[in-house]
């Protein structure tokens, strides 16, 4: 049974009608479902027992590879010991231990960790902390937020407001939070096509922040939020000097800089964080996905001591300082998975392994230059994208076809618009990297 016929037998066994799938073309999917039933190491297993190489670490999240027994055992043991404990006005030891583990790999000074359950929640948490911080220091009029075109910051109202993905905003346009501006995105085919690592062109785009600040006055602006490497929009690598310039301008005007590291956190670019990789320290970092290898939903915000202390010291001794949190913040099972995952990252040196494999990944992905429909290739660490010419009148269709061909041939890739994105688990080896891109090449020769 192949991927095309897989749905025929499945649809007779499985009722697909109740599950409303997220970010999915539901009608298209249910007409020809792609169902996975197992995962181990670098591979998924499909319902018809085919092995599929995971070219995207799930959704940029399974950085240590699938089915890690240390994580499974940690979760199992924790659930046997204590399944749940309230996170408001009560604590449990492994929440604190997980926070220490995460703090240990954050840039120096960003060691106050607030837990949430998804990247979207982490983003909204960071935005709220930024507002609470300014208010606590007597500048409560600093409420404006600045995001970036093509930025993806999740799907909460805060996230889609600062985010810059038109389709994610369109239906909710009237309900976006007010007082938000957007920096221009940094994608430019004319000046930066086929860049390896950081494009030399485009650092000046950070100056646009000065224009927005001049328009509103810095005294009204709370924070700037950007992904250091934009992931979901199709892997846009920051131009040389760009992030440094944003940092400089934010510092000059007392504006907080938030790096959304939901994708880049925990080794993706070959360092613990993109902040560390680029040598630019923001005031707040959002993270999720690989924080616990995606075993149990979990996310977090790392805040600087200054932000934390300002908020914490703003209230009376027995008052709740920040009216924010989630029933499942630092859920015991998620925290256990987090601790076990961070131990794996350290023990196996996976962040430096990603740095080591990055040149091989770069060489392999750039070999696709000149193949049918390819119009740009970009990469950093173990993340990369191949942008295709869109088919006339059918944007996204060509990348979908390429994605389907790859899936039939045993490789899972991501596609967004007409961009194919790659982010394998950090355990990927040379042969698997070659296989991923050889499969993409073959797929490109078979589509129209």
Q: Among residue numbers 244 through 283, which ones bind ligand PLP (CB under 6 A)? A: 260, 262-263
State how far the alpha carbon of 339 is from the alpha carbons of 108, 182, 298, 299, 354, in Å.
Answer: 20, 36, 12, 13, 20
Both tokens of 350, joined, read 């996976």
Any contact of residue 231 with ligand PLP (CB under 6 A)?
A: yes
Q: Are 280 and 107 in contact (CB under 8 A)?
A: no
Any contact of residue 288 with ligand PLP (CB under 6 A)?
A: yes
Any contact of residue 285 with ligand PLP (CB under 6 A)?
A: no
Q: Among residue numbers 334 through 373, which ones bind ligand PLP (CB under 6 A)? A: none
Minimum distance of ligand PLP from residue 284's CB (angstroms): 13
- Pick the closest to residue 44 from 295, 407, 293 (CA basis): 407
Helix (H) or strand (E) holding 94: helix 93-105
- Tell me whether residue 173 is exposed, middle or buried, using C-beta atoms within 10 angstroms of its C-beta: 0 to 12, 13 to 18, 19 or more: exposed
Any contact of residue 120 with ligand PLP (CB under 6 A)?
A: yes
Which stretch in 119-127, 133-141, 373-381, 402-410 sits in contact with ligand PLP by CB under 6 A? 119-127
Helices then strands, counting H and E runs in the chain, come out as 17, 15
Largest CA distance in the chain: 67
Residues paired with residue 412 on neighbouring β-strands, in sequence order: 54
Minimum distance of ligand PLP from residue 153's CB (angstroms): 5
Any contact of residue 124 with ligand PLP (CB under 6 A)?
A: no
By CB under 6 A, name the one of 58, 107, 119, 147 that touches ligand PLP.
Answer: 119
Residues paired with residue 411 on neighbouring β-strands, in sequence order: 53
Minimum distance of ligand PLP from residue 70's CB (angstroms): 23
Both tokens of 63, joined, read 């950085």
Going by C-beta distance under 8 Å and a sequence separation of 6 or more, which residues neighbour residue 23?
none
Taking CB atoms, the residue at the shortest distance from ligand PLP is 119
Any contact of residue 227 with ligand PLP (CB under 6 A)?
A: yes
Q: Are 344 and 425 in contact (CB under 8 A)?
A: no
Any contact of residue 55 with ligand PLP (CB under 6 A)?
A: no
Looking at beta carbons only, is 42 or 123 nearer to ligand PLP?
A: 123
Looking at beta carbons only, is 261 or 435 nearer to ligand PLP?
A: 261
Looking at beta carbons only, is 46 or 292 nearer to ligand PLP?
A: 292
Please report how the helices 332-348 and 93-105 are oriented relative to each other, as an axis angle in degrees rounded to 10. Answer: 40
> Site map for ligand PLP, 126-155, x if CB under 6 A?
--------------------------xxx-
Q: Are 111 and 237 in contact (CB under 8 A)?
A: no
Any contact of residue 228 with ligand PLP (CB under 6 A)?
A: no
Minimum distance of ligand PLP from residue 397's CB (angstroms): 23
Q: Which residues bind ligand PLP (CB under 6 A)?
A: 118-120, 123, 152-154, 227, 231-232, 260, 262-263, 288
């Amino acid at each position: 049974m192949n991927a095309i016929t897989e749905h025929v037998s499945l649809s007779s066994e499985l009722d697909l009608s109740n599950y409303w799938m997220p970010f999915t073309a539901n009608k298209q999917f249910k007409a020809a479902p792609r169902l996975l039933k197992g995962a181990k190491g670098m591979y998924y297993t499909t319902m018809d027992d085919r092995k599929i190489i995971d070219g995207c670490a799930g959704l940029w999240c399974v950085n240590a590879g699938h089915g890690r027994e240390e994580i499974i055992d940690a979760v199992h043991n924790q659930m046997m010991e204590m399944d749940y404990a309230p996170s408001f006005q009560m604590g449990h030891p492994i929440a604190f231990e997980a926070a220490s583990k995460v703090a240990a790999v954050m840039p120096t000074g960003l060691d106050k960790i607030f837990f949430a359950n998804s990247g979207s929640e982490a983003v909204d948490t960071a935005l709220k902390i930024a507002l609470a911080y300014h208010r606590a220091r007597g500048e409560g009029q600093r409420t404006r937020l600045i995001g970036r075109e093509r930025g993806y910051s999740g799907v909460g109202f805060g996230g889609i407001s600062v985010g810059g993905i038109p389709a994610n905003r369109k239906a909710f346009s009237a309900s976006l939070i007010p007082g938000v501006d957007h920096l221009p995105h940094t994608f430019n085919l004319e000046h930066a096509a086929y860049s390896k690592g950081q494009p030399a062109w485009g650092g000046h785009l950070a100056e646009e922040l000065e224009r927005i600040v001049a328009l509103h006055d810095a005294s009204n602006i709370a924070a700037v939020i950007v992904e250091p490497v934009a992931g979901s929009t199709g892997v846009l690598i920051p131009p040389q000097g760009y992030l440094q310039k944003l940092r400089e301008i934010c510092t000059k005007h007392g504006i907080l800089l938030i790096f959304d590291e939901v994708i880049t956190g925990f080794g993706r670019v070959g360092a613990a964080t993109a902040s560390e990789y680029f040598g630019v320290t923001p005031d707040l970092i959002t993270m999720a996905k690989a924080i616990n290898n995606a075993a149990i939903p979990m996310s977090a915000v790392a805040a600087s001591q200054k932000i934390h202390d300002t908020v914490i010291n703003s209230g009376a001794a027995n008052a709740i300082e920040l009216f924010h949190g989630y029933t499942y913040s630092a859920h015991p099972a998620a925290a256990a998975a987090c601790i076990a995952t961070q131990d794996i990252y350290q023990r196996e040196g996976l962040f430096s392994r990603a740095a080591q494999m990055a040149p091989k990944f770069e060489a392999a992905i750039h070999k696709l230059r000149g193949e049918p429909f390819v119009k740009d290739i970009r990469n950093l660490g173990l993340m990369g994208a191949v942008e295709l010419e869109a088919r006339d009148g059918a944007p996204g269709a060509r990348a979908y076809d390429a994605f389907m061909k790859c899936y039939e041939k045993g490789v899972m890739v991501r596609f967004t618009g007409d961009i194919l994105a790659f982010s394998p688990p950090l355990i990927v080896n040379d042969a698997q990297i070659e296989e991923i891109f050889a499969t993409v090449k073959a797929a490109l020769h078979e589509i129209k």
